[in-house]
Structure 1
Amino acid sequence: MKKLAMIFCVLIAIFAAVVYVNKLYYPPLPVEGLSAKEAIDSLNDSDSKLTQIEDDGEFLWYLTRVDDKGIESADDKVKQLVAAKGWSFKEKDGSGLFFEKDGERLIATTQMWTGEYVLIQVMKF
C-alpha cells in the first residue's frame, strides 16, 4: 500500500511539473498554433516590451506585460507602435483604441489575458 501511495505521489509531481513548465495553467490564446509557453517565451526573448505573436492576414496580434499602471501601460505601448506607422490617436472607447490616417480608421483592441499579460489585436496597417 505504501508503494502504491509513493507511485501516486511521484505521478502527481511529474504531472504538476509538466503543467508548470508548459504553462498549461494559462487560458488559451485566440490565435491558432501557438501555445502560451511559446508566446511568453517570445516576449521574454525580445528586447521590446511588446512582441508580435501572430499575423493571421487580417489582424496582427501582440503580447505585452503590464506594469504598475495596468492596462494603461499596454494602451501606451499600442499608441507608440501605431504612431510609428504614421497613425494619429483619436480616442479610446472601452478596450478599443481608434486611430486615423489620411481619412482611414484603424482600430486596436486590448484584452487582459492573465493578470500579468495583455493581448493586443490590431487591424493590419
Structure 2
Amino acid sequence: MKKWLLLVGVVIIVISIVAFNSKFYYPSLPVNSVSKREVLESLNDSSKEIVKIAEENGYDWFITRNEQGKAYENLKRMVSEKGWQFKNQEGSGFFFEKDDKKLIATTEMWTGNYVIVQIRKN
C-alpha cells in the first residue's frame, strides 16, 4: 500500500512540474508559431522593454509587460524610434504617421501582466 501511495505521489509531482513548465494556465496566444513558454522566456531573457515574438500572417507580433500601464508607452517609444509619429489612440488601436503613410498597432491584454502588440509588416 505504501508503494502505491508513493507511486501516485511521484506521478502527481511529475505532472505538476510538466504542467507548470508548459504554462498551460496562461490564456492561448493569438499566434501559433511560438509557445507560451517561449514567449515568456524571450521577454524575461531580453533587456528590452518590448520584444518581437513572431512574424505570422503578414504581421509582426510583440510582447511587453504591463507594469503600471507602461506597456503603451513602450509601444509608442518603439514605433517612434523607427521614425513614426504617434497621432492618436482609439480603443486598442494606436495610430502612427510617417510622411504620407499610416501605421496601426493593435494591442491585446494577455493576462493582467502582459500586452501583445500586432503591427502589419511594411
For normalisation by structure 2, the TM-score amounts to: 0.90
Q: Is the 8 A contact 1:99 1:105 kept in 2?
A: yes
What are the equivalent positions in structure 2 for 1:66-77 lying under 5 Å apart? 66-69=66-69, 73-77=70-74
Give per-residue Cα distances to partners, 1:88-118, cap 9 Å, x unaligned. Answer: 1111111110111222211101111112111
Runs of 5+ unmatched residues, structure 1: none
CA-CA distance at 1:44 after TM superposition: 1.1
Runs of 4+ with >6 A deviation: none
Percent of counterpart pairs with the same letter? 43
Q: Helix, strand or coil for the counterpart of 1:68?
A: helix
In structure 2, what is the equivalent of residue 120 of structure 1? Answer: 117
Query: Higher mean Cα deviation, 86-95 or 26-35?
Result: 26-35
In structure 1, what is the equivalent of residue 28 of structure 2? Answer: 28
In structure 1, what is the equivalent of residue 93 of structure 2? Answer: 96
Q: Alpha carbon RMSD of aligned pairs, Å?
A: 1.5
Q: Which amino acid aligns with 2:100?
A: G
Q: Is the 8 A contact 1:28 1:35 kept in 2?
A: no
- Paired positions, count: 122
In structure 2, what is the equivalent of residue 48 of structure 1? Answer: 48
In structure 1, what is the equivalent of residue 83 of structure 2? Answer: 86
For normalisation by structure 1, the TM-score amounts to: 0.88
Runs of 5+ unmatched residues, structure 2: none
Q: Equivalents in 1 of 2:34, 2:55: separation in Å?
A: 12
Aligned partner (choices 91, 104, 107) of residue 104 of structure 2: 107
